[in-house]
């Protein structure tokens, strides 16, 4: 068994961006993006979206908020070094035999909702949030120690923003955007 897994990496990324796990909402909360309106970071897709609850947990008067879902779209495992045949411990875990690199393509799916008179204000808020996410990857390439590095491959850090949806009756603007980067981990195998 490797010392890393999709579950470990996914939960680590969600915790790094989201904060502390809150079981009754199945999300991480209180993390470094809270001041930018992110109230929940989910480690997987849920069955429903509770927009009202999202707004209720925002700082008073903010009027804009978001939640994030961590997706690991693809992964690729390659050998980096061979050091003989695998050696197992008494539990069947590989403890020697070389090094493998596991690269995950991570997509942070962000859903932003703004109760603002102008869509331009929502766009400003989205731009600040995107820069905050990218900066968190820049300042700690290990995402809190969960990986060898993130955002450092030639894939880089990519952002894709969809067209906004505007509900004229409620004065709400909604936007979905993604921030993608590769996350690499190394393990003995």
For residue 60, the enclosing domain spans: 6-188
Mean model confidence pLDDT for the chain: 88
Crossing angle of helices 119-139 and 6-18, in 10° steps, is 120
Distance CA 115, CA 87 (A): 58
Q: Can you give the pLDDT at residue 53?
A: 65
- The pLDDT of residue 51 is above 70: no
CA 162 to chain centre: 18
Q: Can you give the pLDDT at residue 52?
A: 67
Distance CA 157, CA 53 (A): 31
What would the mean pLDDT of 8-19 be, rounded to a whole number?
97
Residue 32, Cβ density class (10 Å: 0-12 exposed, 13-18 middle, ≥19 buried): middle
- The pLDDT of residue 25 is above 90: no
What would the mean pLDDT of 149-162 be, rounded to a whole number?
97
Would you give the DSSP letter of residue 59?
A: P
**Number of domain units in the chain:** 1
Q: Which is nearest to 48 in space by CA: 69, 28, 29, 34? A: 69
Q: What's the predicted TM-score (pTM) here?
A: 0.89
Token representation of residue 54: 């999202």
Instruction: For residue 118, tell me if it sits in a domain.
Output: yes
Residue 182: partners with Cβ closer than 8 Å, 6 or more residues away: 103, 104, 105, 106, 150, 151, 152, 153, 155
Instruction: For residue 140, tell me if it sits in a domain.
Output: yes
What would the mean pLDDT of 103-116 be, rounded to a whole number?
93
103 neighbors 184 (Cβ within 8 angstroms):
yes
HSE (CB half, 13 Å, CA atoms) of 31? 28
Instruction: For residue 1, tell me if it sits in a domain.
Output: no
């Amino acid at each position: 068994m490797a010392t890393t897994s999709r579950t470990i990496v996914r939960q680590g990324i969600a915790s790094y961006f989201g904060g502390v796990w809150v079981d009754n909402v199945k999300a991480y909360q209180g993390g470094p993006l809270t001041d930018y309106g992110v109230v929940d970071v989910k480690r997987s897709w849920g069955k429903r979206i509770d927009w009202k609850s999202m707004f209720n947990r925002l700082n008073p008067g903010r009027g804009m908020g978001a939640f994030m879902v961590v997706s690991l779209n693809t992964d690729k495992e390659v050998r980096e070094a061979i050091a003989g045949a695998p050696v197992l411990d008494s539990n069947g875990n590989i403890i020697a035999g070389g090094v493998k690199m596991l690269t995950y393509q991570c997509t942070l799916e962000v859903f932003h909702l703004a109760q603002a008179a102008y869509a331009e204000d929502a766009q400003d808020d989205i731009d600040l949030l995107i820069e905050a996410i990218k900066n968190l990857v820049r300042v700690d390439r290990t995402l809190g120690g969960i990986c060898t590095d993130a955002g450092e491959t030639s894939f880089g850090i990519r952002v894709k923003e969809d067209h906004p949806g505007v509900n004229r009756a409620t004065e709400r603007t909604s936007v979905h955007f993604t921030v993608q980067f590769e996350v690499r981990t190394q393990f003995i195998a």
